[in-house]
């Protein structure tokens, strides 16, 4: 019932946006030709890597569906599981101004408890918030009031009634209101600017739902309704107050022309709350421009009209998938059908980073259409190459090239760190870098027909090369893996904070991306490997323990010799382990000679092969699942090939299928491009939207 109520309210919200759009239509028809900004200047190419370093080509893989600060947001409901349904990293909430300005006698007194309670609960699930404050909301929302005008305005501000919606609308031009509201915005920024719990803040405050319109009581007074909106000067004062108060947190306003375009030259993006919807007869889009069948009042036509269609380069684009189409928005992906406009074009031309989408709770995480759309939204980062020396002592130079295949940059200056991971899987040394992820721009952008650019897509960003030196002082001599991560500031508040992860096969669920191996030599700046008395050796297993019946080579049969994960060694004496699983303190559990891995859109298992296996033709995984169908839940990597388990080709052309009974999945290595001479590490990654349990009885080569 709570969800039904929220969805109904969303529909009202979007309906108001529709009415507001119609009210502006006559104005826009009368405007001159669009003052388009045109093709944005392409960033300069990056410096070339240091030629003395060894290049490591990194294998691409699909990025996770719940990367931070992008994708779908759902309504925050206190006490509800914020991670149920489709994978996500954002929660959405309104707040009435009267819930914070509670003192009837003092407009400068603020009680932030309602905000902090919500932000803390969202953060406890590892999610960031997108929020908006309002004064009038037809019917209210959840536990928030319909009339959110603070009582301290009484007797100082004139109140009017929007008889269509039944709301009380304050005089937005009142000097008393403007003083109180701008003081509130200043206090809001002083408390929350840069707060890692908040990802995006809509300006709100003005109009129905804080959406900067009061339809039908708007500028079109020919319908007999007076105009309840503020003048552009009053609106611009509110816009400037937000810009003054917030330097870090990304801001968004509903329309490009709000307050006379006061946000044109400010770091304030837009939120399109009727995203990719088609209406009217003949049907016209309310997001796409007229040149692509959109209405004269569409969101992108408004942006073209003001020449701000390229604001996405520095400012985020949010909003809401129109509620009427949320359930079917991606059925015809990448195009559209009926009331759903060309969805790919909407995402690409708006450079969408996130959208409220309450209906996303009904999407299947395995739906490839939705997954492709979510990965396209905002940033989609892949490390293409790493550059590092094979051996070093004292200092080492490390470089990495990162490409962005999404439609927008990452908008926050999150810290990028390098680290060294030892053979046991422990990151033993880290270094923070000055690398700025915001500079990794999309590789290509979609051209507006209005630009007359001569092509549908244009090259834009470049794979961005970053390089720095690291001090190896105090690092014991030995072999390490160089790793990279991007630190989500929410981690300082919530251990559940979603990790920013790259679209790479070597990306771990713990946030660390494997770049390549480095041998640290003893010498200047380093330390010798710690000496210890020579231990008595663990007896080597009998050779036959690695040869199952019928011949072959066992990687691991989880029989307890060696013990997993305490010994961190497989049957070939290579390193093995896992993290981010929901059992065994993250590493999975071995029982009855089999490894059980319980996962929920997170989990990584790796086991070093470390030997030429070209004497064998097949990789064999003996596996079962609790529910069956788990072959679509995880990637398997070996010998330069990474695919969903269910995407490998078996002898005869069939595909692997996991059932509730053990079965041997025999993967022919040659047919799947697996290099048996350099198998490297067998790895399984579970951060692709799946939730369940698999049990592996053994892995071998035959």
Residue 177 tokens read as 């209101």
Mean pLDDT of the chain: 91
pLDDT of residue 2: 33
- What are the chain's domains? 381-520 (2.60.40.10), 544-701 (2.60.120)
Element (H, E) at 73: strand 71-75
The separation between the first and the last C-alpha atoms of the chain, rounded to the nearest angstrom, is 55
pLDDT of residue 641: 86
pLDDT of residue 28: 37
Contact 507, 61 (CB under 8 A): yes
Residue 455 tokens read as 């092509």
Tell me the three state secondary structure of residue 631. helix
Contact 4, 362 (CB under 8 A): no
Q: Label residue 331 by pLDDT band (50, 70, 90).
A: very high
Q: Across the strands, what pairs with 466?
A: 400
Global pTM? Answer: 0.74
pLDDT of residue 568: 85
Contact 491, 421 (CB under 8 A): no
pLDDT of residue 372: 98
pLDDT of residue 549: 46
In tens, the pLDDT along 53-97 reads 999 999 999 999 999 999 999 999 999 999 999 999 999 999 999
Work out the percent of the chain whose per-residue pLDDT is above 70: 91
Q: Label residue 526 by pLDDT band (50, 70, 90).
A: low
In tens, the pLDDT along 380-395 reads 999 999 999 999 999 9
Q: Output the DSSP codes for 443-497.
A: SEEEPPGGG--SSSEEE---PEEEEEEEE-TTPBSEEEEEEEEE--GGGGT-TTP
**CA pair distance 474, 472, nearest whole angstrom:** 6
User: Is 550's pLDDT higher than 90?
Assistant: no
Q: Label residue 537 by pLDDT band (50, 70, 90).
A: very low
For residues 312-326, give the mean pLDDT. Answer: 98
Stretch among 166-170, 270-274, 278-282, 524-528 having the lowest mean pLDDT: 524-528
For residues 673-679, give the mean pLDDT. Answer: 91
User: Is 569's pLDDT higher than 50?
Assistant: yes
Residue with tokens 């030429």: 612
In tens, the pLDDT along 221-251 reads 999 999 999 999 999 999 999 999 999 999 9
pLDDT of residue 686: 84
User: Is 502's pLDDT higher than 90?
Assistant: yes
Phi, psi angle pair for 429, to nearest 5°:
-155, 140
pLDDT of residue 544: 35
**CA pair distance 558, 698, nearest whole angstrom:** 7
Q: Label residue 688 by pLDDT band (50, 70, 90).
A: low
Burial 554-585 (b: 16+ CB within 10 A, else e): bbbbbbeebebbeebbbbbebbbbbbbbeebe
pLDDT of residue 20: 40
Contact 310, 37 (CB under 8 A): yes
User: Is the torsion defined by CA of 665, 669, 675, 678 positive or negative?
Assistant: positive
61 to each of 323, 618, 638, how far by Cα in Å?
A: 32, 23, 13
For residues 435-451, give the mean pLDDT. Answer: 98
DSSP state of 148: -
Q: Let me know if 501 is exposed, middle or buried by CB neighbors in 10 A (0-12, 13-18, 19+).
A: buried
Contact 95, 58 (CB under 8 A): no
In tens, the pLDDT along 118-160 reads 999 999 999 999 999 999 999 999 889 999 999 999 999 999 9
Residue with tokens 């290509």: 444
pLDDT of residue 522: 85
Closest CA to 504 of 616, 401, 645, 612: 401
**CA pair distance 183, 334, nearest whole angstrom:** 45
Residue 103 tokens read as 């003192």
Q: Let me know if 454 is exposed, middle or buried by CB neighbors in 10 A (0-12, 13-18, 19+).
A: exposed
Alpha-helix runs per DSSP H in 286-376: 299-306, 343-350, 368-376
- Counting Cα atoms < 13 Å in the Cβ hemisphere of 444 gives 7
For residues 475-484, give the mean pLDDT. Answer: 96
In tens, the pLDDT along 9-22 reads 444 444 444 444 44
Work out the percent of the chain whose per-residue pLDDT is above 90: 82
**CA pair distance 379, 395, nearest whole angstrom:** 32
pLDDT of residue 449: 98
pLDDT of residue 600: 86
pLDDT of residue 313: 98
User: Is 447's pLDDT higher than 60?
Assistant: yes
C-beta atoms surrounding 591 within 10 Å: 11
């Amino acid at each position: 019932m709570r969800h039904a109520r929220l969805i109904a309210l969303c529909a009202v919200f979007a309906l108001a946006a529709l009415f507001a759009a119609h009210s502006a239509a006559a104005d826009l028809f009368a405007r001159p030709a669009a003052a388009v900004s045109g093709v944005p200047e392409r960033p300069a190419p990056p410096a070339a890597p240091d030629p003395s370093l060894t290049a490591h080509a990194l294998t691409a893989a699909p990025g996770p569906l719940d990367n931070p600060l992008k994708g779908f947001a759902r309504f925050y409901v206190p006490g509800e599981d914020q991670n149920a349904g489709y994978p996500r990293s954002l929660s959405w909430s309104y707040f009435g101004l009267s819930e914070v300005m509670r003192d009837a006698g003092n407009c400068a007194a603020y009680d932030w408890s309602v905000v902090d309670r919500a932000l803390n609960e969202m953060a406890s699930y590892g999610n960031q918030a997108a929020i908006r404050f309002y004064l009038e909301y037809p019917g209210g929302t959840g536990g928030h009031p319909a009339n959110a005008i603070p009582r301290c305005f009484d007797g100082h501000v004139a109140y009017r009634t929007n008889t269509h919606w039944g709301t009380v609308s304050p005089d937005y031009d009142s000097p008393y209101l403007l003083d109180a509201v701008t003081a509130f915005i200043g206090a809001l920024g002083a408390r929350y600017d840069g707060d890692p719990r908040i990802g995006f803040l809509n300006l709100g405050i003005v109009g129905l739902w804080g959406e900067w319109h009061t339809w039908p009581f708007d500028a079109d007074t020919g319908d007999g309704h007076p105009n309840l909106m503020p003048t552009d000067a009053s609106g611009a004062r509110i816009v400037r107050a937000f810009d003054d108060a917030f330097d870090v947190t990304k801001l968004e306003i509903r329309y490009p022309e709000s307050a006379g375009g006061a946000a044109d030259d400010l770091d304030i993006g837009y939120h399109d709350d009727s995203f990719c919807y088609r209406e009217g007869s003949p049907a016209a889009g309310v997001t796409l421009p007229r040149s692509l069948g959109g209405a004269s009042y569409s969101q992108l036509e408004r942006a073209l009209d003001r020449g701000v269609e390229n604001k996405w380069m520095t400012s985020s684009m949010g909003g809401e998938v129109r509620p009427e189409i949320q359930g079917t928005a991606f059925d015809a992906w990448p195009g559209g059908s009926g009331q759903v406009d060309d969805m790919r074009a909407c995402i690409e031309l708006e450079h969408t980073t996130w959208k409220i989408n309450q209906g996303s709770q009904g999407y299947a995480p395995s739906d490839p259409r939705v997954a492709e759309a979510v990965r396209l939204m905002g940033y989609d980062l892949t490390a293409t190459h790493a550059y590092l020396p094979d051996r070093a002592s004292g200092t080492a130079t490390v470089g990495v090239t990162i490409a962005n295949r999404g439609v927008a940059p990452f908008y926050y200056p999150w810290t990028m760190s390098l680290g060294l991971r030892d053979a046991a899987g422990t990151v033993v040394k880290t270094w923070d870098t000055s690398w700025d992820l915001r500079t990794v721009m999309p590789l290509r952008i979609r051209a507006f027909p209005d630009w007359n650019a001569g092509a549908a897509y244009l090259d834009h960003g470049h794979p961005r090369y970053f390089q720095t030196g690291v001090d190896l002082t105090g690092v014991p001599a030995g072999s390490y893996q160089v790793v990279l991560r991007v630190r989500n500031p929410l981690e300082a508040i919530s251990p559940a904070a979603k990790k920013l992860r790259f679209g790479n096969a070597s990306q771990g669920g713990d946030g660390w991306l494997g770049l390549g191996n480095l041998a640290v030599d003893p010498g200047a700046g380093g330390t010798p490997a710690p000496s210890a008395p020579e231990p008595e050796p663990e007896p080597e297993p009998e050779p036959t323990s690695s040869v199952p019946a019928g011949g072959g080579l066992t990687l691991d049969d989880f029989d307890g010799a060696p013990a997993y994960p305490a010994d961190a060694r497989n049957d070939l004496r290579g390193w093995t382990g896992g993290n981010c699983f929901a059992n065994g303190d993250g590493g999975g559990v071995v029982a009855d000679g089999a490894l059980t891995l319980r996962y929920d859109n997170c989990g990584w298992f790796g086991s070093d092969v470390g030997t030429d296996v070209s004497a064998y033709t097949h990789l064999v995984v003996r596996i079962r699942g609790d529910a069956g169908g788990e072959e679509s839940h995880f990637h398997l990597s070996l010998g330069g090939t990474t695919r969903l388990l269910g995407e490998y080709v078996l002898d005869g052309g069939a595909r692997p299928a996991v059932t509730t009974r053990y079965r041997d999945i025999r993967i022919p290595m040659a047919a799947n491009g697996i290099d048996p001479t350099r198998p490297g590490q067998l790895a399984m990654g579970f951060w692709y939207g799946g939730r369940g349990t698999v049990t592996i009885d053994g892995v071998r080569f035959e």
